[in-house]
């Protein structure tokens, strides 16, 4: 294609292309369980410097850099919304140390590596060192699920990433402000005055905007349907206002504004949080594709062996020291410290911030600021690949892997929940039963089933329940409204395809709950009363494994009247059967089904006979062994 053809892409077409490529890459990553970062980088490089189909500077012109600036501002505002002081106070000692001591130490060590080993100027090294503190919460979560870590190291890694995400950005913003002011050539006194005024104004503006919105939302001065639009307009307005006083101080202001709102305990916080998450996914996808498409291969070639040295020192020296030194003196076992020290993937937020800050450094004459974007791409790719392939084997080697079996969280303690847990245990499924009534959990505890006493949506559950170990949920309490609430609340986070719910009691009145709320319905439209009544009548829940010789047809012929309830595939996926859904099970899969009373009793009698025979054989072998000796 010649250059004239390239110019045919209008800004509207570019925005559409970036949206399709970014979100499409994220969908493909979810569909095939691949790192989204790798796909977005590959697509951006392909359509940009490789094919020349889309070059941001050329096709977007003067609006390119302002778009990136506004997108980064919203991303940092979202980061501020995740920093709740109460959660930080409640975090365990190791997390607090990794935040209060580890983050500054990581910035200092990264700065030294970038300055001495990579050869960046002190200005670029100091700014990029702040960004290096961010470990990427959107990247670490999928890795933890795949590696199936034990609860404590997984929670520490998650909390560190969540808290250090906005903290690293704040460090980088503050250092950038200092560098930009110094590079203006002002005297020391004037520089301090300008810096103090700009940062002070940004802090006050962010605080005032956050408090103002808190008051307006709490007193209902803004209608519910306008809260999200007002929020985003204020974010952009505060960013623009403070940016006119001191360049890039707007990023500090919007981060502070997000932190204020995060700790305001607003009733609409959940809705605001979810919407900003959706907006951030779009913005992060777009920014990442834009930054990848704008990469210059000439800049990449200039990095040479220093880029490889940078990756090695970051993974093998900086990250371990950043973790191990602050954790000295804690009661955390050394195995867990080592695992955390050798796990530190970076994410897309780092790339977005680095690209923008690098451009600002170049604009004031610091030429090596152009290296920040390619360096961020390299460290993100390297850490995602390294930790993606090594985390699970390392966890197994250190004996820190959780159960390899699939897990099911059952909300609601009842005889049905206990029977289902016991049946699924035979199929290799670990179950956790949660209930707000302690008495409902008595039978489960006596049966040796893991339980949680409390509201599964409460703050205590966030700290005590290992949600990573239970990727599937069945809401099965005696309260249809509560079941619906739990399924609706957990759906966006865990995926609605993994949330199931017992059918509600049929109610044709105007007081019935909306059908679009809740989780997927289980087979036969059975309610809480139905499943527990069946057990009271003698029905049983039993699990059977299919083989090449013992297929589904044979299973059905030997169990007349049986009603399949859930299938556990040999790959570990747990799938309840929806209404009117045919059974699909292959060799190696487990079928858990309701068996009629006569059949259940016969199966139990046969199982007891086999157990007695096995016991007799073992006793006979033991007697022979003793007599032989």
Token match 């089933």: residue? 449
Distance CA 461, CA 454 (A): 7
* Average of per-residue pLDDT across 343-349: 81
Which pLDDT score is estimated for 277? 64
Is the distance from CB of 259 to CB of 14 less than 8 angstroms? no
Q: Which residues pair with 434 in a beta bridge?
A: 411, 452
Task: Answer yes or no: is pLDDT of 188 > 90.
Answer: no
Looking at residue 193, its pLDDT comes to 79
Contacts of residue 250, defined as CB under 8 A and 6 or more positions apart, other chains included, come to: 73, 202, 238, 239, 240, 241, 242, 243
What the block records as the tokens of 93 is 């000692």
The yes-or-no verdict on residue 549 having pLDDT over 80 is yes
Q: Which residue has the tokens 């709490």?
A: 218
The DSSP bridge pattern shows strands 563-568 and 540-545 to be: unpaired
**Percent of the chain at pLDDT above 90?**
22
340 touches 147 (CB < 8 A): no
Locate tokens 């106070």: which residue? 89
Range from 3-7, 136-140, 382-386 carrying the lowest mean pLDDT: 3-7
Least confident of 166-170, 485-489, 532-536: 166-170
List alpha helices for 520-596, DSSP H.
Answer: 528-536, 552-558
CA distance 569 to 446: 29
Q: Is 240 exposed, middle or buried (0-12, 13-18, 19+ CB in 10 A)?
A: middle
Given a cut of 50, is residue 2 above it in pLDDT? Answer: no
| Angle value at C-alpha 63, between 274 and 370, nearest 5 degrees | 90
- Between 452 and 14, residue with greater pLDDT: 452
Q: Copy the structure tokens of residue 548.
A: 């090449």
CA distances 554 to 305, 440, 545, 549, 583, Å, are 63, 38, 12, 9, 13
d(CA 257, CA 261): 6
**DSSP β-bridge partners for residue 30:** none
Task: Give the pair of three-digit tokens for residue 407.
Answer: 């897990």
Measured at the alpha carbon of residue 76, what is the angle toward residues 74 and 81, in degrees to the nearest 5?
A: 95
Per-residue pLDDT of 583-592, as tens digits, reads 888 888 999 9
Highest mean pLDDT among 267-276, 328-337, 355-364: 328-337
Q: For residue 149, what is the DSSP state?
A: B
Query: With left for phi above 0 and alpha for psi between -120 and 50, is residue 487 left, alpha or beta?
Result: alpha
Q: Hey, is 295 helix, strand or coil?
A: coil
Q: Distance from first CA to last CA of the chain, Å, rounded?
A: 88
Average per-residue pLDDT in the chain?
A: 82
Mean pLDDT of 193-200: 79
- In sequence order, the 6+-apart residues with CB closer than 8 A to the CB of 353 are 72, 75, 76, 131, 134, 169, 172
- Pairwise CA distance, residues 268 & 277, whole Å: 14
- Looking up tokens 């409902």 gives 440
- What is the predicted pLDDT for the residue at 89? 55
Q: Does residue 51 register a pLDDT over 80?
A: yes
Q: Which residue has the higher pLDDT, 523 or 237?
A: 237
* H-only helix segments in 132-187: 137-147, 151-182
What's the length of the chain?
629
The C-alpha atoms of residue 250 and residue 245 are separated, in whole angstroms, by: 9
Q: How confident is the model at residue 87 (pLDDT cuts 50, 70, 90)?
A: low
Within 10 angstroms of residue 398's Cβ, the number of other Cβ atoms is: 18
Q: 3-state class of 82 per DSSP?
A: coil
Backbone angles phi, psi at 472, to 5 degrees: -120, 145
Residue 189 clears pLDDT 90, i.e. is over it:
no
Widest CA span of the chain, in angstroms? Answer: 98
Among 79-93, 166-180, 257-271, 429-443, the range with the most confident prediction by mean pLDDT is 429-443
Query: Which token pair is 623?
Result: 């007697």
Give the residue among 518, 563, 577, 111 at the shortest CA–CA distance from 310: 111
The C-alpha atoms of residue 197 and residue 421 are separated, in whole angstroms, by 62
Report percent pLDDT > 70 for the chain: 85
More confident residue, 334 or 153: 334
8 Å CB contact between 217 and 261: no
104-108: average pLDDT: 92
- Return the pLDDT at 4: 44
Q: How far apart are alpha carbons 465 and 488 in whole angstroms?
A: 18
Q: Of 327, 467, 374, which Cα lies nearest the Cα of 49?
A: 374
Assess whether pLDDT exceeds 80 at residue 487: yes
Q: Are strands 590-595 and 563-568 parallel, antiparallel or unpaired?
A: antiparallel
Stretch among 49-63, 213-227, 320-334, 433-447 having the lowest mean pLDDT: 49-63
Give the long-range contacts of residues 28-35, CB within 8 A, separation 24 or more.
Answer: 33/146, 35/139, 35/142, 35/384, 35/385, 35/388
Given the structure tokens 């470990």, which residue do they identify? 135
Q: What is the 3-state secondary structure (H, E, C) of 92-145?
A: CHHHHHHHHHHHHHHHHHHHHHHHHHCCCCHHHHHHHHHHCCCCCHHHHHHHHH
Torsion, Cα 407 408 409 412, to 10 degrees, reads -150
pTM for this model (two decimals): 0.67
| 274-302 pLDDT tens trace | 666 677 677 777 887 887 888 777 766 66
Give the pLDDT mean for 377-393.
86
């Amino acid at each position: 294609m010649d250059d004239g053809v390239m110019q045919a892409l209008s800004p509207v077409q570019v925005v559409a292309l970036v949206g399709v490529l970014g979100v499409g890459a994220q969908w493909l990553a979810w569909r095939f369980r691949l790192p989204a970062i790798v796909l977005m980088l590959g697509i951006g490089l392909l359509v940009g410097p490789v094919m020349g189909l889309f070059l941001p500077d050329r096709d977007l012109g003067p609006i390119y850099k302002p778009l990136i600036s506004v997108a980064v501002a919203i991303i940092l505002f979202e980061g501020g919304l995740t920093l709740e002081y109460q959660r930080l106070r409640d975090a365990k000692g190791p997390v607090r140390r990794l935040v209060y001591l580890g983050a500054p130490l990581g910035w200092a060590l990264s700065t030294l590596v970038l300055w001495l080993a990579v050869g960046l100027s002190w200005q670029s090294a100091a700014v990029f060192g702040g960004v290096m503190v961010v470990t990427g919460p959107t990247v670490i979560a999928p890795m933890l699920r795949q590696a199936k870590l034990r609860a404590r190291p997984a929670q520490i890694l998650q909390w560190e990433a969540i808290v250090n995400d906005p903290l690293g950005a704040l460090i980088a913003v503050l250092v950038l402000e200092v560098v930009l002011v110094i590079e203006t050539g002002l005297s020391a006194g004037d520089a301090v005055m300008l810096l103090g005024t700009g940062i002070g104004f940004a802090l006050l503006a962010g605080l005032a905007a956050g408090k103002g919105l808190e008051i307006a939302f709490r007193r209902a001065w803004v209608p519910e349907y306008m809260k999200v639009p007002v929020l985003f307009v204020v974010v952009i307005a505060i960013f623009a206002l403070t940016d006119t006083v001191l360049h890039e101080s707007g990023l500090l202001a919007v981060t502070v504004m997000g932190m204020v709102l995060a700790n305001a305990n607003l009733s609409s916080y959940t809705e605001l949080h979810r919407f900003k998450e959706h907006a951030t996914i779009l913005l992060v996808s777009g920014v990442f594709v834009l930054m990848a498409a704008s990469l210059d291969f000439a800049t990449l070639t200039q990095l040479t062996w220093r880029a490889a040295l940078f990756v090695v020192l970051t993974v093998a020296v900086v990250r371990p020291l950043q973790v191990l030194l602050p954790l000295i003196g804690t009661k955390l076992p050394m195995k867990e410290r080592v695992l955390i020290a050798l796990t530190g993937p970076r994410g897309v937020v780092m790339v977005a911030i680095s690209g923008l800050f690098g451009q600002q450094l170049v604009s004031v004459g610091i030429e090596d600021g152009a290296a920040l974007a390619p360096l961020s791409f390299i460290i993100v790719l390297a850490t995602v690949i390294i930790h993606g392939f090594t985390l699970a084997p390392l966890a197994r080697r250190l004996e820190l892997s959780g159960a390899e079996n699939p897990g099911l969280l059952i909300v609601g303690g009842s005889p049905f929940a206990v029977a289902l847990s016991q049946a699924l245990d035979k199929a290799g499924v670990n179950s956790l039963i949660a209930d707000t009534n302690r008495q409902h959990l008595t039978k489960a505890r006596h049966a040796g089933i893991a339980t949680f006493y409390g509201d599964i949506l409460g703050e205590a559950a966030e700290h005590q329940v290992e949600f990573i170990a239970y990727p599937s949920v069945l809401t099965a309490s005696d309260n249809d409204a509560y079941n619906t609430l739990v399924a609706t609340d957990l759906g966006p986070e865990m995926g609605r395809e993994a949330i199931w719910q017992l059918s509600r009691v049929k109610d044709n009145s105007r007081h019935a709950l909306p059908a679009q709320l809740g989780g997927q319905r289980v087979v036969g439209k059975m309610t809480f009363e139905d499943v527990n009544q069946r057990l009271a009548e003698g029905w049983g829940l039993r699990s059977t494994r299919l083989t090449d010789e013992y297929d589904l047809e044979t299973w059905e012929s030997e169990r007349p009247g049986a009603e399949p309830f859930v299938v556990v595939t040999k790959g570990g996926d747990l799938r309840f059967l929806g209404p009117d859904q045919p059974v699909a099970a292959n060799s190696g899969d487990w079928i858990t089904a309701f068996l009629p009373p006569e059949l259940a009793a016969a199966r139990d009698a046969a199982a007891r006979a086999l157990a007695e025979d096995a016991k007799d054989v073992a006793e006979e072998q033991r007697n022979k062994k003793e007599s032989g000796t």
